Amino acid sequence: MKIDKTTPPLPASQIGELAPRSPNAKPGQGSAPGSAPSETSVHLGTASAQLRSLESSMAGSSVVDAEKVKAIKQAISEGRFQVNSGVVADRLIDSVKELINANKGGAA
């Protein structure tokens, strides 16, 4: 699969124009050569704090039910585990339908 670049590269003449500016600089003025770079303040908003909180609360929880895995392993080793191919096929088809619908909604 080939991935095309969506934006052309900047010409070399514009690269210097992207240098950080001092907070007191007027529009059209870049940083003075030899001056120390100014500090930049970034505020990420409440979503960032919520994501950090969610991440820390989930850090201690397990994604896998160890007891269920143990029971399935035991059933497989004893020959009691049977796969219902109809249910597997139905769920696979449902997940493909969801992916197709999600792509249709995103492309529209």
**DSSP-assigned letters across all residues of 20-74:** ---TTPPTT--PPTTPPPPP------HHHHHHHHHHHHHHTS-SS-HHHHHHHHH
Question: pLDDT tens digits, residue range 42-91?
Answer: 877 888 888 888 888 888 777 888 999 999 999 999 999 999 999 999 99
At residue 55, the pLDDT reads 86
Rounded to two decimals, what is the model's pTM?
0.34
Alpha-carbon torsion angle 89, 95, 98, 102, nearest 10? -140
Cα distance between residue 13 and residue 34, in whole Å:
19
Question: Taking the domains of the chain in order of start, what are their residue ranges?
Answer: 83-108
Output the six-digit token pair for 91: 């769920």
